[in-house]
Structure 1
């Protein structure tokens, strides 16, 4: 008999990536015992909440969640407040978290010209771990929309004057349009990549710089791959299905081409 969790993941892989968040919720309703495993294993478009203390928006994921509350990276407090004290990083890791949020806020503005970014760090036995979240949504019109969600989860294991970083990055892309002239189109998908690297460390500030370089390089590579795979392939398919030239002109060009080939053969 198939494992219920594997069956749920297999089902999600066959459904429209655009509806992943909704489908995960439905699966959690059908099989409540799988809720924690699904939320930890399946990447969904990031949610957005507002920090009551600072008034700034932040991104929600499983890494800053405690029950039905999410920790704000700006105030280090949970929204909505918890009845009991939630899990927060140590003082050293929290200082790195603050610096990382400042750095990626600049990165977000330079690369995305808008959107929202959030960085969360937590302690592990031989170092620290964390995630960098970036989200940009656009709605040029009521019938056109697009969103980019990138989730970068990493571990940093301390060594002598160096640190070993392991980065797992996920990009969720969703583009949609529904107009009278173009019709309905939905281009959705996700991409996952991993990389490991040893980098020199002088102090805690070096960790922020190293993580920033790794995330920047990974996003650049994934952005180029998405452009080639998604947009390039979609352009080829549309070009084969739909001709801009009238059919009569296309037939005339083909006939002229055949005549030239025949003349060369004679």
Structure 2
């Protein structure tokens, strides 16, 4: 019998664990099996980490697409932190870097309009027949000492140049985590709702200049994220609410039984009149 592939086994294990702790689970697997580190970091979407650009004094988001070893490239300074040797060879070309700067400015406005806070980062890189990139958005809230929530969206796209048009492939991943310890109201108990959702889309759009790419990608990201947000709200949250409502009752069972007996007695009295 052939032995299972270690990477497949690791991915299967991660799918069965709490998505909120994916980063910690990946670190533990990498410490046990170091040769899987690169493949796991490329294959698994984890909640986005935040770093501060030492040169521009601004926060940016970290992912596998702006990473080289243990260093991460800032979208503001276009420099790796910590610095790496031969870093110039893996930086985007001058044309793609100009688009990257404009894209960061555009999605910073998008972030403020839709999320009213949080952090956004955009990274682009060259490809033989076009370019590719990723749009990262993160919003974390702590409305109370005993509750928390975070939204991480990762939009990875490829743009293939055509005559007066461009073909785009977009893969969007949303990682959502909501939690409450229940200490504020022991009757409510604790809650942990975490998970991720992935959607893909391919579209063709007209292109006049490099600015058109930013507009086209922006529309696709906005549409895809809106659809995923509505899906989470209407399907997943709605279904979870129905299930919890059927399985859990805040009043004691004795009180619920007493209420049902009272209701039956009232119906019986009304029927006998």
Q: Hey, what's the Cα distance between the residues in 1 that align with 2:268 and 2:67?
A: 66
1:41 aligns with 2:47: no
Greater Cα shift, 36-45 or 223-232: 223-232
Which residue, out of 217, 225, 250, partners 2:260?
250
Please give the secondary structure, in 2, of the residue aligned with 1:6. helix
Unaligned runs of 5+ in 1: none
Please give the secondary structure, in 2, of the residue aligned with 1:82. coil
CA-CA distance at 1:100 after TM superposition: 0.4
Which residue, out of 146, 155, 158, partners 1:155?
158
In structure 2, the CA distance between the partners of 1:95 and 1:30, relative to structure 1 (3 Å rule), is same
CA-CA distance at 1:228 after TM superposition: 2.0
Give the match for residue 9 of structure 2. Answer: 7
CA-CA distance at 1:6 after TM superposition: 0.6
Give the match for residue 102 of structure 2. Answer: 99
- 1:215-234 Cα offsets, whole Å, 9 max, x none, are 00000000011112332122
Unaligned runs of 5+ in 2: none
User: Structure 2-normalised TM-score?
Assistant: 0.91
CA-CA distance at 1:242 after TM superposition: 3.1
The answer to whether the 8 A contact 2:182-2:191 is kept is no
1:170 aligns with 2:173: yes
1:209 aligns with 2:215: yes
User: Structure 1-normalised TM-score?
Assistant: 0.94
Please give the secondary structure, in 1, of the residue aligned with 2:190. strand
In structure 2, the CA distance between the partners of 1:259 and 1:42, relative to structure 1 (3 Å rule), is farther
- 1:69-89 Cα offsets, whole Å, 9 max, x none, are 100001111112223325110
In structure 2, the CA distance between the partners of 1:63 and 1:7, relative to structure 1 (3 Å rule), is same
Please give the secondary structure, in 1, of the residue aligned with 2:246. helix
CA-CA distance at 1:175 after TM superposition: 0.4
Give the match for residue 237 of structure 2. Answer: 231
Please give the secondary structure, in 1, of the residue aligned with 2:76. coil
Give the match for residue 71 of structure 2. Answer: 69
Which residue, out of 202, 217, 233, partners 1:196?
202
